[in-house]
Amino acid sequence: MEQNYKLTILDFWGENCLPCKKVAPIIDQLESEYYQTVEVKKINVELKENEDLLIKYKVRSIPTVIFLKEDKIVDTYVGPHPKSTYEQLIKKHLC
């Protein structure tokens, strides 16, 4: 049975990106806390196979965290932010 998520989070990151390493555990926590309603996709910007996504979502800096609802961008955050910021957005878009 396929899961119908209400919200998708795209986490654009890179191996040598220190701010990305700050965001990663936060996104991991949110993924486990909201696993029934939120899908998290981690996208390594250094992989050639992800170039189309970088263009599609106009990612210019990392970390970039994009929130999608019904395949439409509803919020984008660039740079590291506290867990509370991401959590507020999740709650806002799940209503």
Q: Among all residues, which ones are annotated catalytic? A: 17, 20
Asked whether the beta carbons of 23 and 84 are under 8 A apart, the reply is no
Q: What is the pLDDT of residue 5?
A: 77
Measure the CA–CA gap between 39 and 57, rounded to whole angstroms: 17
Mean pLDDT of 57-78: 96
Element (H, E) at 67: strand 64-69
pLDDT of residue 3: 63
Q: What is the pLDDT of residue 95?
A: 82
31-60, pLDDT tens digit by residue?
999 999 999 999 999 999 999 999 999 999
Instruction: For the full predicted model, state whether its pTM sits above 0.85.
Output: yes
Residue linked to tokens 């999740």: 90
